[in-house]
Structure 1
Amino acid sequence: MTRPIVLVSADVRPGDGHEWHAAAATYLEAVITGSDAVPLVLPSLGAAIDLDAVLTRVDGVMLTGARSNVHPSLYGGVASAENGPYDPQRDATTLPLARRALELGIPLLAICRGMQELNVALGGTLATEIQSLPGRRDHRAAQSDVQDERYGLAHEIEVEAGSCLAAVLGTAPDGGVTRVNSLHRQAVDMLAPDLLADARAEDGTIEAAHPQAAKGWALATQWHPEYWVASDETSKKIFAAFGKAMRARMRRAE
């Protein structure tokens, strides 16, 4: 069997007088090493892209994290300088991409901003600057120029028994606890009607979720499993499950 092809979301950033559509190498490398698949970056060109034409040629979709936040106008919020930066071109691409991937049963892995995109795409809302909310811990990255410190495992999450994540991790029948990293300023507020929470942090922040009506495998994590996929068992299992789901779909299509 040939390796699965994974469609990877792109950020839009200026540089050298040009507008670049790019994905961080950590995500691309995690697809290769963790899922034994081939990453293909999708430019954030919104409605100019024929999603069905693209999705018929790939085996999975990954929505990556990003420095930008989902624009609040998409879930009834108000934009602010504090909550930015925003990437409206990415929003215009990833939200319909997530919905269509689920409709077609294409395996979907949504990470950090990707989880927030999935929630908004399905009708949920987001809480912004959660570090300022009463009772919430500071989920932002550690202040450091060393990436291993910024992406260090920061807190525990409680995995819901019987959830998609529990099945991936092989936790006990009553759920389980695992440690994850934390690099975000906003999080799920109202969970979309079709999403179920798979894990929460001690402060109640939803850390993982999956769409209950999805036609294929789908999982969203608020943390970044891509960074430690080579050494962390939780991260390894998530990317391995993503790869397994894609291969299963490829076999069914033969």
Structure 2
Amino acid sequence: MTKPIVALPADVKHTDGYDWHASPRQYVDAALKAADVVPLIVPAFGLEEGAAEAIASVLDRVDGVLVTGARSNVYPELYGEQATEANGPYDRERDATSIPLIRGAIERGVPLFAICRGIQELNVALGGTIATEIHEKEGNLDHRRVESDDPDVRFSIRQQIKIEAGSCLATILGADKTSVNSLHRQSIGNLAPELGVAAVADDGVIEAVSVTNARGFAVGVQWHPEYWATTDATSQRLFKAFGDAVRSYARSRERALTA
């Protein structure tokens, strides 16, 4: 069997007078090297005419969806709040692509792995809300990245999380706690009804979720396993579990097509 393909919804970047559809290299490398799948960057065409049909066509052809992190935030009106400049930047074209991809993947049982911005999109897609600027809330840790010119320092593994007993994450990692590289200034607010908490930080901030009663692998994490996917055991296990689910889905889809 040829290697399965996973969709990565792109960000829109405005550079040199052009609009670019792009995805950070770390996610591409993690998909290739740690999950052993082929990543396919999907343009952020969600606001274009015919987008719904295009997104359905993508889901017809891929074996998984990997929703990446980004510098932008989910547009607040999508979860009932008012957008402010302080909460930006935003990328509404990405929102309009990734959220339908998430919903479609869950409906079809396509394996889904949502990271950082992705876990927030997952929560919003299923009816949850976002808590913004969480470092300003009394009692919360500062989850923002360390300021440094060295990306290894910015993405350093420095925060411990508690893994919920009986969760899919506990099964994948075989542990009740682990250390992660969580870098974010907003997080899940009201948890979507279809999501279950899989891990929390010491201050109670939700760091991982799974879709309850999902037909397939459907996990979101707030941290960045893609950065250390080939060297950190926790990151490796997450991407391997995603890759295994993608391969299983691809085999079942191939059998259905040849039956």
TM-score using structure 1 length: 0.97
Which residue in 2 is equivalent to 1:73? 77
Which residue in 1 is equivalent to 2:138? 134
Which residue in 1 is equivalent to 2:224? 224
Residue 188 (structure 2) pairs with residue 184 (structure 1): no
* Amino acid paired to 2:119: M
Which residue in 2 is equivalent to 1:40? 40
Distance in 1, matches of 2:7 and 2:249, equals 15
- The alpha carbon displacement at 1:47 in A equals 4.8
Check whether the contact 2:225–2:234 (CA below 8 A) recurs between aligned residues: yes
Name the SS of the counterpart of 1:44 in structure 2: coil
Q: How do residues 1-254 of structure 1 correspond to structure 2 at under 5 angstroms?
A: 1-48=1-48, 49=51, 50-171=54-175, 176-253=176-253, 254=255
Structure 2 residues without counterparts, runs of 5 or longer = none
Instruction: Report runs of 4+ in structure 1 exceeding 3 Å deviation.
Output: none
1:122-144 Cα deviation digits (max 9, x unpaired):
00001000010111111110010
Structure 1 residues without counterparts, runs of 5 or longer = none
Distance in 2, matches of 1:246 and 1:129, equals 34
Distance in 1, matches of 2:156 and 2:26, equals 15
- The alpha carbon displacement at 1:198 in A equals 0.0
1:182-240 Cα deviation digits (max 9, x unpaired):
21111001000000000000000000000102211111000000000111000000000
- The alpha carbon displacement at 1:250 in A equals 1.7
Distance in 2, matches of 1:114 and 1:102, equals 14
Instruction: Output the aligned Cα RMSD.
Output: 0.8
Distance in 1, matches of 2:248 and 2:124, equals 28
Distance in 2, matches of 1:88 and 1:251, equals 34
Name the SS of the counterpart of 1:98 in structure 2: helix
Distance in 2, matches of 1:149 and 1:71, equals 29
Name the SS of the counterpart of 2:138 in structure 1: coil
TM-score using structure 2 length: 0.95
Distance in 2, matches of 1:14 and 1:84, equals 15
- The alpha carbon displacement at 1:40 in A equals 0.3
* Amino acid paired to 1:181: N
Distance in 2, matches of 1:244 and 1:201, equals 27
Moved more, 80-89 or 23-32: 80-89
- The alpha carbon displacement at 1:79 in A equals 1.3
Moved more, 77-86 or 33-42: 77-86
* Amino acid paired to 1:245: A
Distance in 2, matches of 1:182 and 1:47, equals 31
Distance in 1, matches of 2:45 and 2:250, equals 27
Moved more, 41-50 or 200-209: 41-50
1:2-37 Cα deviation digits (max 9, x unpaired):
111010011101011100010000000000001111
Check whether the contact 2:47–2:93 (CA below 8 A) recurs between aligned residues: no
Count how many residue pairs are aligned between Structure 1 and Structure 2. 250
- The alpha carbon displacement at 1:77 in A equals 1.2
